[in-house]
């Protein structure tokens, strides 16, 4: 291999990203006999999955035996405003229970029912209590279980290693190139298959629940390699993030608060969600406070509280209340569980929330309401993949988890992310390993590609300019927050495109001082390229979808357009430009259409 200048490795399957999807993919690829590498930007076990709180959605039927994959499928599709890839939604609903039981067999300790089975919790948009959980730290349980399982499987782990480009031999992926964060030295991987499991793009916004790693690297790697993106405009703003104090604004407040009995109130003390029940969900949503309260204990005879409408609906409602001047003192609304559940229950069910508010905001959630508001949370869209195999448009390139699009359509239901990671992480690992096994040709790594990527990484040290990467990142976040936030208009989106162009110009003048040893300014300078690319993709897709659907709300097109419901907005890269076109969604078979018919 023409890589003598740099540290080089050779594998069958390289998994980029070590959150839930990456770990599950690596475990599966390795179990299939593939020589597997797992690469992550942080230390192992620190990926964003660790922050998931509420639970893993799976129709285990432990609480409600009437629950099954068909109901879960229907909830997922309706939550996604039917923009979902139906086959992904079907596989996800069918396989999630096995993936949860598998975690238990690997040592996870989920909260229990009285007869010793896995307890399930209510969550937005799910008809039945469906989320397997551990208090409000389910993500930690999941990532640690996977991590400890993986450690004994002979997977080579490359921690604190950032991939900046994929290598190709003709049309195929043949490797990946990056640097060690600690030393700044370059490293190249030759591999038959790459699985992208890099998560999302939340660091493009100012108020975000995401960790620093969420800079859209995987989306950018995929675009550069020739893969396609779908549904990028449908970015999810979680309705409940902390709003005060300023330094913690955006930190997530789990939907489990509402699942466990918490309600949203405005400054007048009104449970305002009753005013925001959309026609689409009217038949299955309670319209009085009495019925909503009865629903927590009797789901058969009552309809769900509107506090647990899907996230897009709740986020928009909060936004509207604040705009109308009925917000809380720090620009959010109140989330009250203190007046509805006793302190012991709250501390047992929501220990992290209790801890988080007590230590960061001096608020005791067993005594007073929380102040909450929307926060950038999750990329509903992402890299377009084949539902069964997780293959992208590029041979040898697979994607799973948040970085992949399709399952969630225009809006993801809470709890469907952790199950997504497990179901499609496994599928990506399985099919990547099979692809590697079946590939009989030879792959050659082109030294020119490697050197071009290395040169690109080093440019910021060599410039004379004087731009500061932190300042550019801050300006990008301001731009996306104010112009490509929850509510969008054509004028603002076009203005955002102009600002993105000028930010890109400034990026070319970034000057990094110091050396390559663990230099965060340099790391950010490189991450900014991805952040700008994904920001542009979201903005261009948002301009193209001239309607409001799920996570994408256009003030100038406030209604859903049935015609646009039939298409995905697809983003590709042609030369240096991003192109946007509409493509028809795959047609759903009749038997699944039947599942969606009817309101109950």
Partner 1 sequence: MRVWRGDAKGGAFKEFRVPTEEGMVVLDVIHKIQATQAADLAVRWNCKAGKCGSCSAEVNGRPRLMCMARMNLFPAGEPITVAPMKTFPLIRDLVTDVSFNYEVAKTIPAFKPGRAEPDGTFRMMQEDIDRGQEFHKCIECFLCQNVCHVIRDHPENKPMFGGPRFFVRLAALEMHPMDTDARAEYLRLKAGLGFCNITKCCTEVCPEHIKITDNAIIPLKERVVTEHYDPVVWLFRKLSGRR
Q: Which residue matches tokens 């509409």?
A: 582
Of 116, 441, 466, 598, the one binding partner 1 (CB under 8 A) is: 116
Going residue by residue from 87 to 106, which x/- string records binding to partner 1, judged by CB under 8 A?
--------------x--xxx
Is 291 a binding residue for partner 1 by CB under 8 A? The answer is: no
Binding of residue 537 to partner 1 (CB under 8 A): no
| Neighbour tally for 114: CB within 10 Å | 6
Q: Could you tell me which residues are beta bridge partners of residue 582?
A: 569
> Which is it for strands 186-196 and 7-16: parallel, antiparallel or unpaired?
parallel
- Of 492-531, binders to partner 1 (CB under 8 A) are 512-514, 517-522
Residue in this structure with the two tokens 């506090």, named with its chain if needed: 307
By CB under 8 A, is residue 45 in contact with partner 1?
Answer: yes
CB of 250 to partner 1, least distance (A): 9
Selected binder of partner 1 within 68, 302, 444, 468 (CB under 8 A): 468
Q: Shortest distance, CB of residue 202 to partner 1, whole angstroms?
A: 12
325 binds partner 1 (CB under 8 A): no
Examine residue 512 and say whether the peptide bond preceding it is cis (omega within 30 degrees of 0). no
Q: Which is nearer to partner 1, 517 or 579 (CB)?
A: 517
Dihedral in degrees, nearest 10, Cα atoms 63, 66, 68, 72? -80
Size of the site for partner 1 (CB under 8 A): 64
Residue selected from 13, 96, 194, 251 as contacting partner 1 according to rule CB under 8 A: 251
Q: φ and ψ at 124, to 5 degrees?
A: -55, 130
In the complex, least distance from residue 111 CB atom to partner 1, rounded to whole angstroms:
7
One symbol per residue from 3 to 42: x for binding partner 1 (CB under 8 A), - otherwise; what is it?
A: ---------------------------------------x
The correct pick among 118, 173, 350, 387 for binding partner 1 (CB under 8 A) is 118
Residues shown for the chain: 600
Tokens encoding 269: 């003390």
Distance, CA of 546 to chain centre: 24
Exactly one of 24, 149, 349, 540 binds partner 1 (CB under 8 A); that residue is: 149
User: Residue 405 half-sphere exposure, CB side, CA atoms within 13 Å?
Assistant: 31
Distance CA 347, CA 336 (A): 14
Least separation in angstroms between residue 302's CB and partner 1 is 27
| Residue 355 binds partner 1 (CB under 8 A) | yes
311 HSE (CA, 13 A, CB side)? 36
Shortest separation between residue 209's beta carbon and partner 1, angstroms: 8
C-alpha span between 18 and 39 (Å, rounded): 7
Q: Which residues contact 529 (CB under 8 A, 6 or more apart)?
A: 220, 507
In this chain, which of 4, 65, 115, 301 binds partner 1, going by CB under 8 A? 115
Q: How many CB atoms lie within 10 A of CB 210?
A: 24
Q: Report how far apart, in Å, the C-alpha atoms of 299 and of each of 62, 68, 208, 292, 304 are.
A: 15, 16, 34, 10, 8
Nearer CB in complex with partner 1: 464/600: 464
Catalytic residue annotation: 238, 258
Which one among 7, 66, 182, 505 touches partner 1, defined by CB under 8 A? 182
Residues interacting with partner 1, by CB under 8 A?
42-48, 50-51, 101, 104-107, 109, 111-112, 115-118, 134-135, 137, 139-141, 144, 148-149, 151-152, 159, 182, 211-213, 244-248, 251-252, 352, 355-356, 359-361, 468-471, 474, 512-514, 517-522
């Amino acid at each position: 291999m023409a890589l003598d200048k740099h540290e080089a490795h050779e594998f069958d399957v390289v998994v980029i990203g070590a959150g839930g999807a990456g770990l599950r993919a690596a475990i599966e690829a390795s179990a299939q006999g593939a020589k597997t590498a797992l690469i992550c930007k942080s230390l192992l076990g620190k990926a964003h999955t660790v922050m998931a709180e509420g639970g893993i959605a799976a129709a285990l039927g432990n609480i409600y035996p009437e629950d099954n994959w068909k109901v879960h499928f229907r909830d997922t599709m309706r939550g996604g405003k039917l923009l979902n890839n139906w086959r992904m939604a079907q596989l996800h609903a069918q396989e999630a229970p096995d993936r949860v039981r598998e975690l238990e067999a690997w040592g996870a300790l989920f909260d229990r029912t009285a007869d010793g089975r896995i307890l399930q919790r209510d969550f937005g948009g799910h008809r039945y209590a469906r989320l397997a959980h551990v208090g409000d730290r389910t993500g930690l349980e999941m990532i640690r279980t996977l991590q400890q399982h993986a450690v004994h499987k002979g997977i080579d782990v490359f921690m604190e290693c950032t991939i900046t480009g994929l290598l190709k031999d003709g049309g195929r992926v043949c490797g990946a190139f990056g640097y060690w964060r600690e030393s700044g030295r370059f490293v190249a991987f030759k591999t038959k298959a790459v699985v992208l499991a890099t998560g999302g793009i939340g660091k493009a916004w100012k108020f975000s629940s995401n960790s620093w790693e969420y800079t859209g690297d995987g989306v950018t790697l995929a675009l550069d390699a020739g893969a396609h993106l779908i549904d990028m405009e449908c970015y999810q703003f979680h309705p409940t993030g902390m709003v005060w104090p300023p330094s913690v604004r955006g930190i997530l407040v789990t939907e489990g608060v509402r699942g466990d009995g918490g309600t949203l109130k405005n400054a007048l003390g009104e449970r305002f969600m009753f005013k925001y029940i959309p026609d689409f969900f009217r038949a299955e949503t309670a319209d009085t406070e009495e019925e909503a309260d009865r629903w927590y204990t009797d789901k058969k005879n009552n309809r769900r509280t509107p506090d647990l409408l899907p996230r897009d609906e709740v986020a928009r409602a909060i936004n509207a209340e604040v705009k109308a001047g009925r917000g809380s003192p720090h620009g959010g609304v109140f989330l009250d569980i203190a007046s509805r559940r006793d302190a012991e229950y709250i501390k047992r069910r929501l220990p992290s929330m209790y801890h988080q508010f007590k230590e960061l905001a001096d608020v005791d959630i067993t005594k007073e309401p929380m102040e909450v508001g929307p926060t950038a949370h999750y990329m509903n869209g992402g890299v377009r993949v084949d539902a069964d195999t997780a293959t992208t448009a590029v041979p040898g390139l697979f994607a799973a988890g948040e970085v992949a699009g399709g399952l969630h359509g225009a809006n993801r239901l809470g709890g469907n992310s952790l199950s997504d990671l497990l179901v499609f992480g496994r599928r990506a690992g399985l099919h990547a390993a099979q692809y590697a096994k079946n590939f009989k040709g030879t792959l050659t790594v082109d030294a020119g590609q490697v050197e071009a990527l290395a040169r690109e990484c080093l440019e910021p040290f060599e410039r004379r300019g004087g731009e500061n990467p932190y300042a550019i990142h801050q300006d990008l976040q301001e731009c996306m927050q104010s112009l490509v936030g929850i509510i969008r208009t054509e004028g603002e989106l076009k203005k955002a495109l102009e600002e993105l162009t000028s930010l890109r110009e400034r990026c070319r003048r970034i000057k990094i001082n110091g050396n390559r040893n663990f230099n965060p300014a340099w790391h950010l300078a490189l991450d900014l390229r991805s952040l700008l690319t994904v920001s542009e993709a979201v903005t261009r897709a948002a301009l193209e979808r001239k309607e409001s659907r799920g996570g994408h709300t256009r003030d100038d097109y406030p209604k859903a357009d049935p015609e646009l419901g039939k298409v995905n907005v697809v983003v590709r890269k042609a030369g240096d430009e991003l192109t946007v076109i509409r493509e028809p969604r795959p047609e759903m078979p009749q038997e699944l259409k039947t599942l969606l018919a009817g309101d109950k």
